[in-house]
Structure 1
């Protein structure tokens, strides 16, 4: 499976990413999947076309599908900023992969937003990437400005 024809962006991200000024969820997914960390400042050092290219990589859990994300990122950062991303060990069993319970962060964010918490069946039916996005948007204790639009876009809120 190769690159997508266009960057992978949810509707709620089109405005919030401000034309790739901020790191899209598809890139965050692949950073987490490969155990790579870059700062917003490092992201913004990359030319717009490179940022768009990174957002075209598949968002599948199988690292064998497109193993070149990490290589592309390293090369781009070396070329344009003379830096390398930071490595970390990816979480083996992140909460978003579980389909038998809704992560506590998602429950907390739904409560902050006065939205009904997704049921376990609704959660299990979500595409894994969408579960990742909601869990990622729910990692901080304060409200996330993208959480409600994501819930709406994923059909979990009216």
Structure 2
């Protein structure tokens, strides 16, 4: 699978990423799947064209499909920031891959936002990347400003309490 024609971003990110000033979820996904970490300052040190390119990479779980994300990132970071990304061991079984149980963080964000809990069947029906996004947005105990817009965009707004 090749690069997308344009940056892979959800509608809710168009506002919050401010024209790629902040890392879109597609880049976060690829960083996590390759076990790479860069700071926001490092991301922002990259030229806009490089950030666009990184946001065009596919979000498939199979790292063999598009192994060039990590190579591109390393080259960009060396060229523009004179540093390399930090490595970490990716979580072998992240919560978003589990389809039978909705992560506690997602349910907590639902409570905070006034949504009914997400049922396991609806969770299982979500695209894996959308499960990743909701889990990533739910990793902290306090409310996330992108969680409600993401729930709406992913078709889960009907879970809102009246």
- TM bucket by the smaller chain? over 0.9
Deviation at 1:116, TM superposition (A): 1.2
1:112-131 Cα shifts (integer Å, max 9, x gaps): 00111211110000000000
- Structure 1 residue 94 and structure 2 residue 71: aligned? no
Runs of 4+ in 1 over 4 A off after TM superposition: none
How many angstroms does 1:41 deviate by? 0.2
Q: How many residues align?
A: 158
CA distance in structure 1 between the partners assigned to 2:115 and 2:157 by the alignment: 7
C-alpha RMSD over aligned residues: 0.5
Q: TM-score, normalised by structure 2?
A: 0.97
Matched residue, 1:42: 42
- Residues 4-15 of structure 1: pairs in structure 2 closer than 5 A: 4-15=4-15
SS at match of 2:59: coil
Contact 1:12 1:149 in 2 (8 A): yes
Distance 2:64 2:85 in 1: 21
Deviation at 1:134, TM superposition (A): 0.1
Structure 1 portions without partners, runs of 5+: none
> Which structure 2 residue ranges, 5 or more long, are not aligned?
none
Q: Distance in 2 between matches of 1:8 and 1:23?
A: 11
Q: Deviations over 1:47-91 (max 9, x none)?
A: 001001000000000001100000000000100110100000000
What is the SS of the residue equivalent to 1:19? coil
Measure, in 2, the Cα distance between the counterparts of 1:60 and 1:90: 15
Cα separation, 1, equivalents of 2:25 and 2:64:
20
